[in-house]
Amino acid sequence: MAEIISGKEISEKVKAEIKAETEKMKEKPGLAVIIVGEDPASKVYVNNKAKGCEQVGFLSRVYRLPESTRFEELSELIKQLNTDREIDGILVQLPLPKHISEKEVINLITPTKDVDAFHPVNTGRIMTGDYYFLPCTPAGVMRMLREKKISVAGKKCVVVGRSNIVGKPQAMLMLNESATVTVCHSKTVNLKEECRQADILVVAIGKAKFITADYIKPGAVVIDVGMDRDENGKLCGDVDFEGVEKVAGAITPVPGGVGPMTIAMLLSNTLTAAKYAGKK
């Protein structure tokens, strides 16, 4: 049976470190989260982000804007926050309503406050390894591996999914740490064969329990980034946990795996941004 990698436990350790640093600071780091519309999953994520801020002693502001918000109004808010000394991190929850361009909105955030690391300046910096922030989910995955003393150097890493938020930066972070990386996606021929080559498999495709035991090389490390619902409406990942844990060497559960790490990394980025802004 595979070792269970508890993101919940590791995230508690990371948050305790952040809290300890924050307690020593005279000016608290501040995070502004903007949500536009009523997407139920987004509402849960935003509440969890605010809760995380509270746990570590950050200032937290949540802006809940109606679905009908115009780009100009959102733009005005972001510009204000860009120059607000209390606020070190700005996060616009995605997806945005269809009438607002996500790209244009992300481009408005000052790169040194872009704690999601979605701005082109930050995504570009990840390519060269010279970054202010790492995107939260891939950074959380790397931190979990580090905590478990799982080195990626020289390993065959397979990333399933090529989104800008997870798959692409995940591949880049693994490459920066000297892994041999394959990125697979919906057009990949022989996905199962590719996955079976992986010493470390990261799955971020948004399809409930898609990756079954026959995709796994015995002993492999399996990281499940999925947040899906199974046929009974129960939260599950992209990996069929029950089958895969019998073959893998280590595996992250859903819930309690990558999810809590993402929030811990967001808090870590906000602390970095506060220091960048000169807060001590």
Q: Which residues bind ligand GUN (CB under 6 A)?
A: 91-94, 116, 136-137, 165
143 or 217: CB nearest ligand GUN: 143
Active site residue 93: yes
Please name the residue that has the structure tokens 């064969």. 193
DSSP conformation letters of 235-269: EE-SB-HHHHTTT-SEE--SSSSHHHHHHHHHHHH
Contact status, residue 82 vs residue 90, Cβ threshold 8 Å: yes
The residue annotated as part of the active site, out of 15, 49, 168, 279, is 49
Please name the residue that has the structure tokens 């819930």. 255
Tell the smallest beta-carbon distance from residue 94 to ligand GUN (Å): 4
Contact status, residue 154 vs residue 179, Cβ threshold 8 Å: yes
Q: Taking CB positions, which residue lies at the least distance from ligand GUN?
A: 94
Report how far Cα 221 is from the mean position of its chain's Cα atoms.
18
Tell the smallest beta-carbon distance from residue 168 to ligand GUN (Å): 13
Active site residue 116: yes
CA dist., res. 60 & res. 89, Å (int):
10
29 or 89: CB nearest ligand GUN: 89
Whether the ω angle into residue 97 lies within 30 degrees of 0, i.e. cis, is: no
Active site residue 199: no
Alpha-helical regions (H) of 129-257: 136-147, 167-176, 191-196, 241-244
Tell the smallest beta-carbon distance from residue 134 to ligand GUN (Å): 12
The residue annotated as part of the active site, out of 88, 114, 116, 238, is 116
Contact status, residue 91 vs residue 85, Cβ threshold 8 Å: no
45 or 215: CB nearest ligand GUN: 45
- In the DSSP assignment, the letter for residue 109 is S
The residue annotated as part of the active site, out of 93, 199, 209, 279, is 93
91 or 251: CB nearest ligand GUN: 91
Tell the smallest beta-carbon distance from residue 178 to ligand GUN (Å): 26
275 CB-contact burial (10 Å; exposed 0-12 / middle 13-18 / buried 19+): middle
Tell the smallest beta-carbon distance from residue 219 to ligand GUN (Å): 30
Other CB atoms within a 10 A radius of the CB of residue 34 amount to 22
Q: Hey, what amino acid is at 228?
A: D
Tell the smallest beta-carbon distance from residue 93 to ligand GUN (Å): 5
Q: Hey, what amino acid is at 107?
A: N
98 or 187: CB nearest ligand GUN: 98
How many residues comprise the chain? 280
105 or 247: CB nearest ligand GUN: 105
Catalytic residues: 49, 93, 116
